[in-house]
Structure 1
Amino acid sequence: MSGRFIYFILFLITMFTVIVTVQWYLGKRVIKFIYNSKKIRKEIKKNLKIFVICLLIYLNIPLLYTFAVNIPSKPFSSFTMAVVVYPYVIWGSSYVFIFVILKFFDLLKFLGTKIKRNSSKKSEVENTFSSGRRQFLQIAGKSAILSPLFISSYGVLFERDNFIVKEEKINLGNIPERLKEMKIVQISDIHSGIFMGKKEISKWVNLIYSQKPDILLITGDFVATSKDSVDSCIEGLRFLRSYMPIYCCLGNHDYWGNEIELTKKLTKEGVKVFRNSSEVIDFKGYNVNLCGVEDMRMSSPDIENALKGLDTQKLTILLSHNPNFFDDAKKYDIDLTLAGHTHGGQININLPGITISPAQLITKYIRGKYRDDRKFLYVTPGVGTIGFPLRINVPPEISVIKFI
């Protein structure tokens, strides 16, 4: 039994324990609230308790399906997605935050009780707040507790597939004027699967087509879990391939889904897959080097093999799924490295002068343009999602790259 498999089993056990414990606690809190409420008639309290238990089971049907059967590789019917899957997603991406907020309020209540007990002016403390102010705080507290549900609903139902086109200009200095006419579109992290079906794919395919790029570059993660889920994505790429050349590298999820079969499918459609390899293309009489490496986590990137035979005095563009590879790439004559993988964090909290992102846990290259001397990196937040299908302050992006 491999160490990776053991870690995976331990991870599943830990996740299952957290999921059950947190939801059991929240269900218990709701039931306690019902029984303590004087506004709810006694005869219906028992029925509400049964309803809460049934609701929690209902909200976890997709999770139970995943554990019992498998992770779905394609979307269910629109009805099933709307009635079963999305309620689970909204609840599943919210309840941990609701739990944390509740425990925070419990801590405040505990500290407040301690202060009152230790105060010699208890009556003054109790009378500090007017009834109106108490009511305001109660409403604010309940709003805070429910806020994760509203935020998750927005991220799942609106921002997740609200694709944007963002233009990024890269100043490479003294390059031929004709190369400044080149228009590159980059996408990444498609994650074709249950939450990236034909409907979502058609949106970003149409946006790419509307840009009329000279070339489309894809920095990996075509699938979420299974190679079979890539078929709907292939249809979109087949349409785009009839209008523009497409080059790509593989991402870590592509190896989980059998990278050999995926590479065959992409190659059959005329998509060039770089696996520590390269190709020289002609743009208006000028050679441009395109190359790509294997994923850092799931394989062995070989930059020297990828650059083998190239005249790196010419414009050289590297595709690497993981942006951390830029630390190696910048040691070579590579003008621009394109990457994805981070999803821009998928959920960002923007505060004055600072952005908090989960991606900060794995990289210093979260999204956007980075520069080291005259070497550039652009990290696109991608078009798909992984884990829970939501985005907050990180819309899915079609990146348009131009040189100045």
Structure 2
Amino acid sequence: MHWLFTGHLRVDKITVKIADLPVSLEGTKLVQLSDFHYDGLRLSEEMLEEAIALSNEAEPDLVVLTGDYVTDDPTPIHKLAQRLKYLESRYGIYAILGNHDIHYSHSQAEVTDAFTRIGIHVLWNEIAYPLGTELPFVGLADYWSRDFQPAPVITQLDSAIPRIVLSHNPDTAKILQQWRVDLQLSGHTHGGHIVLPGVGPLVFHYKKLLKKLPKKLRRWVPFLLGDFSKVVRYWEWAQGFHKVGNNQLYVNRGLGTYRPGRLFCPPEVTVITLISQ
């Protein structure tokens, strides 16, 4: 999609406090990339190349990918994998799958295989220890899949140990409140696409706005054309950092862009620095 509709790629740098973070992991740097929708339409080769370059420039300890690498047809994943093999990090690349990555019955296997071939670790209800046993990474199955069952995974961990959870859909933060989640990394929402400065994502407010518009004008409101309530329930978590109960959630705005495009919601590369609380 043309940059006029997507906006320029932005690097968002955040610092997150983690309780009980080991001294040896103080200052650990993660890069999060999400929602590529690499299908020849929604993400340009130029922006993908820039995102990889910016990630490498950050010199991360770990790169995490939080889902939706393709849109429907999984075939483009093979070409995308050949691009992503140029990502650099000290301790590897870990990924989870989004709802679009399991669209067809064969999609999950094809996406997983393409990533595994280039050394990207795909987590599906699994725990990994790329930075050591003192900071596990939990990768959950997509929220809309039958396999989304966080309890058997998370309860394997001692509650005294900090952990980072990768879960594509931020709505899962509501469910995950019952367990310790020091940082949940999600995507899925694309930040809401259209954001009103000082107000937030338009989709969060559009029902109220529609009531104030004449009926003849309502059909021209972009969000009326699709049922965005089916994307997520908690649009207030559409992007950025949030406290959900005792847990912490960060939602990446993604790289890919759907029509009608983005407004005040640029695609994002997130650089996350972990410090002790």
Out of 78, 95, 99, the position equivalent to 1:231 is: 78
More helix by share: 1
The Cα shift of 1:281 comes to 2.7
The Cα shift of 1:302 comes to 1.4
Q: Which residue number corresponds to residue 138 of structure 2?
A: 291
**CA distance, structure 1, for counterparts of residue 89 and residue 183 of structure 2:** 26
**CA distance, structure 2, for counterparts of residue 383 and residue 314 of structure 1:** 32
Unaligned runs of 5+ in 1: 1-85, 87-155
Out of 325, 339, 358, the position equivalent to 2:203 is: 358
Q: Which residue number corresponds to residue 265 of structure 1?
A: 114
Provide Cα deviations, 1:235-257, integer angstroms capped at 9, x if missing partner: 22211157651111110111115
Contact 2:66 2:95 in 1 (8 A): yes
Q: Which residue number corresponds to residue 398 of structure 1?
A: 269
The Cα shift of 1:372 comes to 3.1
What code does the residue aligned with 2:26 have?
Answer: K
Number of paired residues? 245
Task: Give the share of equivalent positions with the same residue, in percent.
Answer: 28
Pairing 1:211–2:58 present: yes
Contact 1:289 1:312 in 2 (8 A): no
**CA distance, structure 2, for counterparts of residue 370 and residue 402 of structure 1:** 16
Out of 35, 49, 53, the position equivalent to 1:202 is: 49
**CA distance, structure 2, for counterparts of residue 306 and residue 174 of structure 1:** 21
User: Aligned-residue CA RMSD in angstroms?
Assistant: 2.2
The Cα shift of 1:289 comes to 0.4
Q: Which residue number corresponds to residue 67 of structure 1?
A: none
More strand by share: 2
Larger gyration radius, structure 1 or structure 2:
1
Q: Which residue number corresponds to residue 220 of structure 1?
A: 67
**CA distance, structure 1, for counterparts of residue 204 and residue 97 of structure 2:** 20
Q: 1:279 to 1:174 in 2, by over 3 A?
A: closer
Taking structure 1 as the reference length, the TM-score comes to 0.57
**CA distance, structure 2, for counterparts of residue 178 and residue 214 of structure 1:** 13
The one of the two structures with greater contact order (alpha-carbon pairs below 8 A, sep at least 6) is: 2
Contact 2:129 2:135 in 1 (8 A): yes
What code does the residue aligned with 1:248 have?
Answer: A
Taking structure 2 as the reference length, the TM-score comes to 0.81
Q: Which residue number corresponds to residue 278 of structure 1?
A: 127
Q: 1:249 to 1:359 in 2, by over 3 A?
A: farther
Pairing 1:349–2:196 present: yes
Provide Cα deviations, 1:181-220, integer angstroms capped at 9, x if missing partner: 1001111101111222433311111111111100011110
**CA distance, structure 1, for counterparts of residue 83 and residue 152 of structure 2:** 31
What code does the residue aligned with 1:355 have?
Answer: G
> Structure 2 matches for 1:53-202, cutoff 5 A?
156-158=2-4, 160=6, 162-195=8-41, 196-202=43-49
